[in-house]
Structure 1
Amino acid sequence: MKQRENIILFPKWRTALEEESLLALKEKRFAEALEKLDELLNYQVNSFEIVSGKLICLIELGRHKEAQDICEDVLQRQDEHYYHYLHIYLTILFQTNQYEMLMEQVEEEFKFHQVPEVLKEQFHQLYEMSRKLKVDMLVDRQSVFMEEWEDAITTRDYQKQWLIIEKLRAMKSEPNRKMLHLLVKEDIHPVVKTAMLIWLQEIDYNQLVHIKKWGRSIQVHPLEIEAIWNHASVKRINSIINELEQKNPTLYDLLVKLLYHYMYVKYPMLPVKEEAEHIALALKAIGANYLNIKLDEQGKQLDLNEYIEDIERCEALYSSIIEDN
């Protein structure tokens, strides 16, 4: 609804609209009250009573997103009604299960602002209730994901397995023993195993895990394994192909992408540093073929077929599970 900036709202009409909207609000005729409040706002009658009345109507009508947007807008004004709006805003976040956002907002208020004494206890209560409900919600969601995980394992739906791990990672959940045991199963997709290992690293999992991958079996502490881009062989390969960044940015970006996909599938059984030159040349050969260009490379006498096949196999495995944007 456009604001009528150049049209005057006569005092009697304004008073009538205010009284009618207040009565409708009091009698819980929220749709009618909202219509009259919007008309007042359309004439730039945007007092606290009018704005807060509209917020109440929107909340009661279940239009929480609109109410939240208005709150976020008026809170930026930092006017004398800031904490009244903030209280409404926190209530909306609580009612819509946005517990994390509510907790962050309360933490910020107590850290950077002087919260009025009359509101401190209410904010503390909202914070504590949100914290407990957030934990309960995470437990419920984790339970649902674990049921979906069991189904994905049974049906060998590897993409679904990877997606569930990503969701559990985002929740900072911890895998159970049954999930960890899958790291030694030969029929678990290598991309899924990598995702599980990175998940363990992100939650600072500090126990020994057994991994079987690519015909090898190792026991490692996830936190002691170098991240992909920090590995010596990856650094060396990257330094070799880095010359292309200025010469042919498109080819360079493609090679970096192929390199990451290759190492992701292999992880943590990455190639040794001595193989870096072969892998870099193989990547260049694959990239040139993809882009239908010719490269004048020294060292073509090296037998790269095995590396090219390995990289292309890993690329197929990666893209079968993960869809890069």
Structure 2
Amino acid sequence: MASDPNGSISSRSPANQFVQPAWRVALWALAYCAVLGVALLGNAVVIWIIVAHKRMRTVTNYFLLNLALCDVSTAAFNTLVNLIYAAHGDWYFGEDYCRYMAIIHPLKPHLSAKATLAVIMAIWSLAVVLAFPLCYFSTIRVLPHRTLCYVAWPRMADDAFMYHIIVTVLVYVVPLVVMGITYSIIGMTLWGGEIPGDTSDNYHGQLRAKRKIVKMMMVVVMTFAFCWLPYHVYFIVTGLNKRLSKWKSIQQVYLAVLWLAMSSTMYNPMIYCCLNSKFRAGFKQVFRWCPFIRMSSYDELELQNRRLRPGHQSSMCTLSRVDTSILSKDKSVCSRGNRSKCKPEPACKES
């Protein structure tokens, strides 16, 4: 947040009581820098995979692209600045950046999985509207020994707490409730039963692919919920009990919950890589220079515009990993005309 994380905006105390030992600052710096490095690299790879490969330009992946861009901006412009201010209690970045932080920090869009550009624009518009009060009231105060960046609410005792309640409901509780209901309905549809009489390999392959996507998005949602819950609870609890802001260890509590919230920017690329074969193939392609990363011909086919170029998908025979490597050498495929020469194997899986 743009407010003083330690809750101290009074000028009565000239000394900075939030200065920490150098070793503790170094440990926090290592933890935050690890989040920054992993988040920037992982999300940059996700963006490249979606933008550079036509097969990956789907509606779902456009939302993942939007989420990756949000995570990159949050990690790049917010993580270290928050660490420096929270660890030392002194604002070094001027009033303009103080207002910028008020916009970008807690209100980046999350949890979009089911629409297109209009929904993305609506999410960003809501984020801007919710962040406007912070931007408008954010300011700095220069004290004898340090500078504070905080939100000067008209009614300091009530406005800040009410704002945190509204933000928590609109950007955390409501999205989680909506996504919970949505994925419950989707889950009952995909796992509750199958279309009677439809036993085609193509139908079952599409069903398995959809189930994998839903599982991946559910993990993304649960990760977001876990990472941001302590952050919202912190501001609600400290708003209800102002004395906690003067507690000796409150600075360490804030740094911990802030680190967990910021770490949410680095987990999504790991989730995509673990649970989606196309993203996994893209990560292998980027890191194939590593001695322990092996890029197979099956992985190369995953990111191509089509798994097999000639013929229709419904008439292709499905190939095992061994068969695909043979195909890449022979440049031969199975089609309607020579079905008899194909080995009878199950249909190609999409994931």
Whether TM-score is above 0.5 comes out as: no
TM-score normalised by the chain length of structure 2: 0.26
Structure having greater relative contact order (Cα 8 Å, sep ≥ 6): 2
TM-score, normalized by length of structure 1? Answer: 0.28
